[in-house]
Amino acid sequence: MTRRVLLNLPPDVREAIWQHLLPRRTRPLEEVAFIFARTEKTNDTTTFDFAEWYPVGRKGFLSRSGYHFELTDEARGGAIKRAHDLGASLVEAHSHIVPGVACFSQSDILGFREFVPHVWWRLRSRPYLALVVSRSGFDGLAWFDSPNIPQYLDGITSDGKFLYSSKATPLGKYSYYDQQI
C-alpha cells in the first residue's frame, strides 16, 4: 500500500542535524546521525515524529571518505538498541557531499539490502527510514510492510513548513534496488 510518508522535526533539531551532516571543513567527509522517531499511522499517511537524535562521532566509523562510509558494529548496534529501548523506529541520516541532486547511491542501496532486514528483525517490524542530505536538498526511503520494498519519503514538516524530498532515487522496475547485483 502506498502511503504518504512524513518526517516531523522541530526546526532547531533539523538545523542541528543538517549542521552535523554538512559541516564546513576543508576535508569533506560523509557524516551520519541516527534519529529516533515514533510512528503514527492514519489511513493514508505515516508520520515519523521526532523523539531524539545523536550524531555518529569519529569512533563510530570503520572507514569514511567523501563518497562512502562504514560504521562499526558498536555504532549500528547502539542505534538499534536505543530505538528498541525507546520503543521507536530508527531513522538513519547521512550526507552526500558531491554536487547534484540528493539521492541514494548504489552502495547505499546495496547496504540497505543487508541492514534494513536486520533492523526490521531486531525492532520487530517497526518502520525504518533512511535519509540522505546534500547541500541541494534531501531524499528519503521508508520501509513499512516489508524490509525489501521501500517507498519515498514525501517530505519533512518543521514548524508548519513543508520541505519536499527530491524523490530522485530510482525505484521502479529498472531501479538498482530491483537489480540482481
User: What pLDDT, on a 0 to 100 scale, did the predictor assign at position 75?
Assistant: 98
pLDDT tens-digit series, residues 108-117: 998 999 999 9
pTM here?
0.93
**Whether residue 162 has pLDDT greater than 60:** yes
120 CB-side CA count, 13 A: 19
Please report the pLDDT score of residue 179 as a whole number. 53
Q: What topology is assigned to 4-164 in CATH? A: Cytidine Deaminase; domain 2 (3.40.140)
At what angle are helices 106-122 and 73-86 packed, to 10 degrees? 50
What pLDDT score does 52 carry? 98
Instruction: Give the SS3 label for residue 23.
Output: coil
Question: Which cell goes with 22?
Answer: 554538512
Rounded Cα distance between 126 and 128, Å, is 6
Q: For residue 33, what are the β-bridge partners?
A: 55, 93
Structural domain spans, the chain:
4-164
